[in-house]
Amino acid sequence: MSDLDLVLTRVIGAPRELVWAAWTTPEHLKHWWGPHGLTTPVIEMDLRPGGIFRTVMRDPAGNEYPTNGTFAEIAKPEKLVFDNDFPDGPDGKPGTARCAVRFDAMGAKHTRMTVRWTHTSQAQKEMHLAMGFHGGWGETVDRLVLHVAPQPGGPKKVTLTRRLDAPRALVWQAWTDPKMMTQWWGPKHFTAPHVAIDLRPGGAVNLDMQGPDGTIYPCQGLFRAVVPTEKLVFWAWVPDAEGRAFLDDVTTVTFTEQNGKTLVTVDATVLQAMPEAAASLSGMEEGWAQSLEKLAPVVENPGARPAQ
């Protein structure tokens, strides 16, 4: 990978041909293009090398965000490449950035999709990051997943709150310091023997939970937003033995100061789940509740050994 690249990879529970169609057909694209809250009323596509690729996204206030591009390579259903107009740095100098999307079939029902943006300069890459690349493209791909691989009954959502008798800075530390996370992460009777995080947008999350019977449950993911002491947003997925998405979710955690105490709010949304994940889904809310229960003594009574 070039130092000028930004890359996002996602395993999607849908056939490659459908994921390809979602990228190359305006009727599909209008349902998912852009971050949450935006619509795409204008889509122009001439699917051939040199053909136009133009969109206009619109936010709830009516503000519009046009993009103008040109297709560079079409290799159905494996690869799609287009060049977009993109300022070459904060001074607004005209430039272009290239997006290459690769679609790799994982059997008949799953697709590994890799979105790679290649920039012409470090300034252009930094500008893309500052615009919220990881959050914006993460949400866009979430919408794609929900479009091509919808869950029966819609995505499962869980919201929990816990008021902790501890300062916000300490609660934040408990969520972002791997040593502290090992003391409380996971439901009752579970441990977290391995936690590794890179605390920045696009930074990796890797952790293992260990069940009472010794079974290890690995989890991988990426941070999408990090607002120190205020908010964390991270996408996480649990792969099965074949690298498919056993479980795929996005979690937002907010930390609100209340007279020296801290209100923690956890909003989790499951985007994909295999049928074999039914037990995990049914226990999701209780699992988070138990984790927050284990967190309390870690921050309210530092030094005490938390109950497992």
DSSP line for 35-98: STT-EEEEEEE--STT-EEEEEEE-TTS-EEEEEEEEEEEETTTEEEEEEE--SSTT----EEE
Q: What is the band of 302 on the pLDDT scale with cuts at 50, 70, 90?
A: confident
Mean pLDDT of 208-232: 96
pLDDT in tens, 183-200: 999 999 999 999 999 999
Between residues 175 and 92, the one the model is more confident about: 175
Per-residue model confidence (pLDDT) at position 136: 96
Do 5-148 and 157-300 show the same overall fold? yes
Per domain, the residue ranges of the chain are: 5-148, 157-300
pLDDT in tens, 118-144: 999 999 999 999 999 999 999 999 999
Mean pLDDT of 23-39: 97
Q: Is the pLDDT of residue 307 over 60?
A: no
Per-residue model confidence (pLDDT) at position 289: 97
As a whole number, the mean pLDDT across the chain is 95
Residue carrying structure tokens 């502290």: 180
Predicted TM-score (pTM) of the model is 0.93
Q: What is the band of 304 on the pLDDT scale with cuts at 50, 70, 90?
A: low
The verdict on domain 5-148 having CATH code 3.30.530.20 is yes
Q: Which CATH class is domain 157-300?
A: alpha beta
Per-residue model confidence (pLDDT) at position 123: 93
